[in-house]
Amino acid sequence: MSRALVILDSPMARSRAASWVMKAPAGTRCEFKASKRSLPQNDRMWAMLTDIARQVPWHGLTLKPDDWKLIFLDGLKRELRAVPNLDGTGFVNIGRSSSDLTKQEMTDLIELIFAFGAQHGVVFADDREASHAA
C-alpha cells in the first residue's frame, strides 16, 4: 500500500488503522490530523470573502474573493513561499490553500475575516439576512 486514508469515526475504522500500523514496513510515515473544515464553514468563508470583495477597495484595487482568501490565509498563518513568475516580472506565492484546514483553523480564519470586516464597515450578507428575519 503506497497511500491510504482512514477517518477514525468508528471502532471498525480504528481497528483497520491499527492493523495497517502493525503491518507497515519500517520507515512508513503515519500522520494524524484533526478533522478537516466543514462544508458550512467553507460556504460561510466564501460568502464573507465575496462581501469583502464587493465592499472594500484594497490599496486602490478591487480584489476578487480568491485574492482576499490569500490575504487572510497569510494573516492566519504567515508562511511566505514565493517564487519568480514565468517572465520574471514579479512573484507568485505558492502553497496557499484552505482545503486542508482543520475545523479549528477554519474557525480562526472566519474570525479573522469577521474582525477585518468589522474594522472596515463590511456588512456581511448573513448579518443582513439575520436582521431581516428578526
Where exactly are the structural domains of the chain? 1-32, 35-133
Instruction: Answer for the pair 23, 1: CB distance below 8 angstroms, yes or no.
Output: no
User: What φ, ψ does residue 11 adopt, rounded to 5°?
Assistant: -60, -35
Amino acid type, 15: S
The CATH number of 35-133, from 1.10.1040.10, 1.10.760.10, 1.10.3790.10, 1.10.540.10, is 1.10.3790.10
**CA Rg value for the chain:** 20
Place of cell 517564487: 83
Q: Parallel, antiparallel, or unpaired for β 82-84 and 91-93?
A: antiparallel
What's the pLDDT at 60? Answer: 94
What's the pLDDT at 108? Answer: 92
What's the pLDDT at 38? Answer: 87
pLDDT in tens, the chain (134 residues): 677 888 889 999 999 999 999 999 998 888 888 888 889 999 999 999 999 999 999 999 999 999 999 889 888 876 777 788 888 898 877 766 787 788 888 999 999 999 999 999 999 987 665 554 44
